[in-house]
Each structure stands twice: as structure tokens, then as C-alpha cells.
Amino acid sequence: MAEKKSRALVLDEFGSPPRIVERPVPARSPGETLVRVRAAAVGHLDLNVIDGRFGILPEPPFVPGTDACGTVIESDVHPEGALVRLRGAGVGLRRDGGWAEYAVVPDKAATATLPDADPAVACSFFSPAGAAWAAVHDVAAIREGERVIVTGAAGAVGSVAVQLAARAGAEVIGVVGRPAKLPHVPAGAKAILARDLSEEALGGRVDALVDTVGGTVLTAALALVRPGGRAALVGYSAGRELTVDLAEWLLADVALLPVNLMTRARDLAEVGERLLAEITAGDLTLNVERYGLDRFEDAIERLRTGAAVGKVALTMD
């Protein structure tokens, strides 16, 4: 019988684009699960990996993809046909990841998920929804009646943060960098362009900030938080440096706090599944742009340039 072939994206060299290869379906060893991948997220972490700019990197050639979702084909621990999320245990970082039609992962990297979940959502939601939850509830600790700025408000983390903050009873100002994103700020927030941010435009300073953008947007938004307020930093796509004048910082009296999903992922596992159920039920919205495996360059470009609205995923169905 002819050997079954499958397609995968393979990176030969950091900084170069991956290429599509046809290869045999990978074989699993004991302790590993073979999955037919249905969708794989294209995330900022993956871009850093393919650019060779992350602290943990696989040896090329390798298949990128740190988050995926698929159906179990063969496993000692997962029932055949179960829908599983693939994440962690070095997937896409220390070993081949999910940008492929078939993936072999350590058993513990596969987690059973809602059978009726959309695979493109199931592989994409955890990072943005988990980070948004941690930022809103644990780090910025937003309370009812507070006024909150969320930057990158049409982005994946930002759009979920807007919804969670509004749900917590806050008045939310959703900031975007480009006019085309204004209509994509979730309902329940006042949408505003970053360049229009000012105390006058907001009607006074706010209690808290959830920043997903960094760079000059963070500098501008931080100045609009009241003394005693909190700022939670999630990401820095627009710039990774912040200059602080210590005298002004003491006077401003605003706590700038990091949101690190990696250290919180275990604690957020349960919340994550709940958020996926809410997205699946339509109670929470997370937009996912979908691209076939052969359109991976478009997917990468949309994410890299910040043009994407929400998450970006490769779909293999």
C-alpha cells in the first residue's frame, strides 16, 4: 500500500519564510499522540520563533506552530476521534509544531476540548482570552464603575479585554491605531483613535489601562491614568521600550504591571475552557481570520503588519 502523505510547513532557516513540503504522516512513539490537525494558530510567538528571536528555539529544519487543534488518530491516552488542543511541552518550540496536516506531540501537550468547538477558535482563543482575563481580573483588577482604557481594542487580546472589562461593570474606552479598526472595537466600548487620546477627549483621567500595543501608545495612554491607578501591560508590537522619568513617575503614582500568561497558564486552564464555551455559544466574541495552508504567507503578513482583525489561523479541513 502506498505510504500516506501529508503537507507541512517547514522552516529551513530562521528569518526565511517556511515552505510547504509533502512528507509521510509522522510516526508516533509511546508517550506521544498522533493528531490530524484541523487548524493551527499563527501567533506573535510563532513569528518570533520563525524570525529566530525567542529564548527557546528548535533546531531547523522544523515545523512551526505553538497552538493547534485537531482530531486524535492514535494515542495511548486520548480516545480516537477526540478533539484536542495542542499546546505546551515544547510543541513548536523544542520540537515540531502544528503548522501541518498531521502532528505528533507528547501526550501531555494534547488536551481534550469541547467537541463542538470550532477548531480555528479552539487553537486560537487561549492566549488572547487568557491574557485578557488575567489583565482585566487579576492584574489591573478592574471593578464596577471604573473607567478603563484598552489599547489594540480591535486586536485579539484587546477585543476580549474590552468585553470582559465592560462585563465587570467598567466604562471602557477602546483605542485603535488605524481608522479601519474603529468598527471592529466590540460594542460596549467608546472607540477612539490612538492619535486622538487626550484628557479632554476622555473627559478626564481613567482608573486603569490594559495595554496590548506598547511603544508610543503606551506612553500616551499611561499619562491618562489617575494617581493610584493601574496599568497592565500585555504586549509590545508597536515598540518594546518605555522611557521613564523617575521624578514624574513618582508623582504620577501609577502601577505599571506585567501580564505574563506563561506563568499563569496553569491557573487559567479552567477559566480558559469556560471562555471557549462562551465563545462557542456566542456570548463572547473573538474574530479569527482563516487561511488555507497554501496561503500561509498572507496569514503571516496580516499578523506581522498589524492589519489582522483578531486572531489568525491556518485551517487544514
Ligand X SMILES: NC(=O)c1ccc[n+]([C@@H]2O[C@H](COP(=O)([O-])OP(=O)(O)OC[C@H]3O[C@@H](n4cnc5c(N)ncnc54)[C@H](OP(=O)(O)O)[C@@H]3O)[C@@H](O)[C@H]2O)c1
Q: Kindly list the residues in this chain that would bind ligand X in the complex (CB under 6 A).
A: 44, 127-128, 131, 152, 154-158, 176-178, 181, 212-213, 234-238, 259-261, 303, 306, 308
Residue 213 Cβ vs ligand X, minimum distance, rounded to whole Å: 4
Residue 235 Cβ vs ligand X, minimum distance, rounded to whole Å: 2
Q: Are 146 and 229 in contact (CB under 8 A)?
A: no
Assign 140 to helix, strand or coil.
coil
Residue 1 Cβ vs ligand X, minimum distance, rounded to whole Å: 43
**Spatial distance between the Cα atoms of 174 and 157, rounded to a whole number of angstroms:** 12
Residue 22 Cβ vs ligand X, minimum distance, rounded to whole Å: 30
By beta-carbon proximity to ligand X, the closer residue of 28 and 155 is: 155
By beta-carbon proximity to ligand X, the closer residue of 32 and 211 is: 211
By beta-carbon proximity to ligand X, the closer residue of 80 and 297 is: 297
For strand 32-42 and strand 19-24, is the pairing parallel, antiparallel, or unpaired? unpaired
State how far Cα 38 lies from the chain centre. Answer: 18
Residue 191 Cβ vs ligand X, minimum distance, rounded to whole Å: 10
By beta-carbon proximity to ligand X, the closer residue of 10 and 197 is: 197
Cis preceding-peptide flag for 64 (omega within 30 of 0): no
Assign 42 to helix, strand or coil.
strand
Residue 102 Cβ vs ligand X, minimum distance, rounded to whole Å: 26
By beta-carbon proximity to ligand X, the closer residue of 119 and 174 is: 174
Q: Which residues contact 52 (CB under 8 A, 6 or more apart)?
A: 14, 15
H helix and E strand count, the chain: 10, 15
Assign 236 to helix, strand or coil.
coil
By beta-carbon proximity to ligand X, the closer residue of 14 and 236 is: 236
Assign 223 to helix, strand or coil.
coil
